[in-house]
Amino acid sequence: MVWVGITLVTFFLLRLTGNPARIVLGQFASDAVIQEFNQKHGLDQPLLIQYISYITNVLRGDLGTSWRFAEPILPIIMERVPATLELAFASLAFSSFVGILLGVLAALKRETPFDYLSRGLVLLAQGIPNFFLALLFIILFGVILGWLPTGGRGDFKHLVLPAIVLGLYLMPLTLRTTRGAVLDILEQNYVRTARGKGVRENSVVWRHVFRNAAIPIVTIFGVQIATLFSGAIITETIFSWPGVGRLIVAAVTGRDFPVIQGIVLIISTVVVIINLIVDILYRVIDPRISMDSVYA
Amino acid sequence: MFRAYWRNPGSRIGSVIAVVMLLLVVFPSSWLPYDPTIVDLSVANEPGFWTGNFEYFLGTDFLGRDMLSRSIYGARLTLIIGLSATAFASILGIISGMSSGFFGKWVDGIISWLIDIQLAFPVIALAIAIIAMVGGSLGSLIFVLAVMSWAGMARLARGQTIAIRNEIYIDAAMACGIPQRRIISHHIFPNILSPLLAMMTYEMARLILAESALSFLGLGISAPKVTWGGMIGDGRGYIYEALWTAVIPGILIALLVMSLNFVGDGIRDAIDPSSWGKEK
């Protein structure tokens, strides 16, 4: 159902101004040229017909043709997906690892300098605009120190800065959620019982506490995916990373509306799918949760 | 509750900084040391007080415009956009959230559906797409930003409303024959206000960051109007010879966002009963 809504929005996105032809062809284009454009792209048919043909095409895998490249859109997008996936995995790995580790430790060592330090880190990561941070990193590591390349995609060295920048964008939420969840659980009776039984502290933390803290963390994971794409758009642009994010910015400057539409549709579909997977994962982690209560 | 808020050193600092910055909105143009829009290439990319230059306190940018004046001038637009977008998003979100939570059934069905849709979209992608269509005017930017964030407020308002809806005093009010409109405005709204206020400050911080990202990418307000994000974008091409043109607006944004986050944290801690009495 949500997906239907998404297709509706992306469909109407293109027709928001009422006359896309005018935007592409300019103010001085004659009416005849506009007419020809509309006919060529099927924009002169009734909206419902347009929507139906749009949906049927999408379901067949045809996302239309790029106005700029005159090529089918889906292959253009798929070409750039691996790059974005690479960046996504790297930054998620970084943000999850750092966020969860620091979150658990901060909760265990509550109110110690360590706790304040990690909360300070969260504050900075949330407050500093991530494109600004990217610039600073490029200046520091790319220009002044010369350790890492300043852009483009290549070997592992090229991945480091973009992944860290994007990871820092995502990390604060993971860290705060982990810390909060662990704090809540540490007060639970079963933790006290486990400690009373003489279970080793390490085991208490990772087998008892963490397993139960996993639920909110997994929830956040689903939310992060949409944020990930937003952040990726900016990160890819700054680091000239040839992914989907950079494609959409290029499409906007090039006024290639079908491509914009296609990318937005694909990204939001992916987000919906991942959130569905997260919902199912809930059940796996905690069999006590029935599917009904998830959707309560 | 206000006392609890004020006792928190974080919220004190945050509030002060936030208020100072908000006052910049009404800073009269005539007080600015220089005209922020006049181009003078003969003084382009001059450093500021750190090299002893007190004529242009924060240096100049690539077009010879005084950074201090531009920073103050840019504050105005940055904050106006942030405030209005947050206001619209809040009004829209709170009204729809409360209606959804209070009336339930099909109203809830439709509004929840809309919320889920909006939350599925990566916010910046949607913003970019919309701005590509309708152009980057002040109105469209505020509209786009508001659309981006109403769902979060709506969800919170809905959850809070549902939690309160089943309280006894609501039943009592209904039994007395008080019209629903009044119940919502007089009984429900005041009780859900506090968490909503906290969220509003967080949202404002988020929207200011989003606006600066968009302006940085060149998709926000176009020249000669200036926002801090746009200034970073301008300075991006000159990080070798004039680093301060990009760094100063960045620091300002970070300062504003962090202080707003502090304020939000302060509000949130002040209304959370489990944190009361911690000082003792």
What is the DSSP code (8-state) at residue A138? I
Q: How many CA atoms lie within 13 A of A272 on its CB side?
A: 20
CB contact under 8 A, A233 and B128: yes
Q: How many CB atoms lie within 10 A of CB B277?
A: 8
User: Which tops the pLDDT comparison, A209 or B209?
Assistant: B209
Torsion sign, CA atoms B239, B245, B247, B249: negative
Give the model's pLDDT for residue B88. 92
Locate the chain B residue with the closest alpha carbon to A9: B117
User: Which tops the pLDDT comparison, B72 or B41?
Assistant: B72
- State percent of chain B over pLDDT 70: 92
User: Which tops the pLDDT comparison, A248 or B224?
Assistant: A248
Q: Which two tokens stand for residue A163?
A: 């992944």
Task: Choose the closest CB to A233 out of B124, B250, B261.
Answer: B124
Give the model's pLDDT for residue B90. 92
Alpha-carbon distance A5 to nearest alpha carbon in chain B (angstroms): 6
Longest pairwise C-alpha distance within chain B: 76
CATH of B2-34+43-275, one of 1.10.3720.10, 2.130.10.10, 3.40.50.10810, 3.40.50.2300: 1.10.3720.10
A197-220 pLDDT, tens per residue?
A: 777 777 776 777 777 777 777 777
Alpha-carbon distance A17 to nearest alpha carbon in chain B (angstroms): 6
- The radius of gyration of chain A's CA atoms, rounded to the nearest angstrom, is 24
CATH of A80-254, one of 2.115.10.20, 3.40.50.2020, 1.20.1080.10, 1.10.3720.10: 1.10.3720.10
Q: Which parts of chain A have pLDDT scores under 70?
A: 1, 13-29, 34, 37-38, 40-45, 67-68, 205, 285-296
Domain coordinates of chain A in residue numbers? 2-59, 80-254
User: Which tops the pLDDT comparison, A35 or B139?
Assistant: B139
Give the model's pLDDT for residue B277. 46
What is the DSSP code (8-state) at residue B222? P
Is the minimum CB–CB distance between B110 and chain A shorter than 8 Å? no
Give the model's pLDDT for residue A254. 75
Alpha-carbon distance B237 to nearest alpha carbon in chain A (angstroms): 11
Give the model's pLDDT for residue B86. 92
Most confident by average pLDDT, A85-94, A200-209, B56-65, B212-221 = A85-94
User: Which tops the pLDDT comparison, A2 or B233?
Assistant: B233
Give the model's pLDDT for residue B89. 92
Residue B47 pLDDT > 70: yes
Locate the chain B residue with the closest alpha carbon to A236: B217
CB contact under 8 A, A123 and B124: no
Nearest to A211 by CA among A231, A226, A190, A238: A190
B60 by DSSP, 3-state: which? strand
Interface of B with A in 249-278 (CB under 8 A): 250, 253-255, 257-258, 261
CA-to-CA distance for B219 and B215, rounded, in angstroms? 5
Task: Choose the closest CB to A237 out of B217, B240, B254.
Answer: B217
CB contact under 8 A, A16 and B130: yes
User: Which tops the pLDDT comparison, B270 or B84?
Assistant: B84
For an interface test with B, which of A77, A84, A131 has the most B Cβ atoms less than 10 Å from its Cβ? A131
Alpha-carbon distance A286 to nearest alpha carbon in chain B (angstroms): 23
Residue B250 pLDDT > 80: yes
Residue type, A229: F
Domain coordinates of chain B in residue numbers? 2-34+43-275
B166-197 pLDDT, tens per residue?
A: 777 777 887 888 887 777 777 778 888 888 88
Nearest to A119 by CA among A129, A131, A130, A111: A111
Average pLDDT, chain B: 80
Q: What is the mean pLDDT of residues B139-144?
A: 84
A112 by DSSP, 3-state: which? coil
CB A34 within 8 A of CB A22: yes
What is the per-residue DSSP string for B133-196?
HH---HHHHHHHHHHHHHHHHHHHHHHHHHHHHTSHHHHHHHHTT--HHHIIIIIIHHHHHHHH
Task: Give the model's confidence band at B242: pLDDT under 50 very low, under 70 low, under 90 confident, else very high.
Answer: confident
In chain B, residues with a C-beta closer than 8 Å to the C-beta of A237 are 217
Give the model's pLDDT for residue A187. 77
B59 by DSSP, 3-state: which? coil
> What ipTM goes with this model?
0.76
In chain B, residues with a C-beta closer than 8 Å to the C-beta of A138 are 239
A222-242 pLDDT, tens per residue?
A: 778 888 888 888 888 888 888
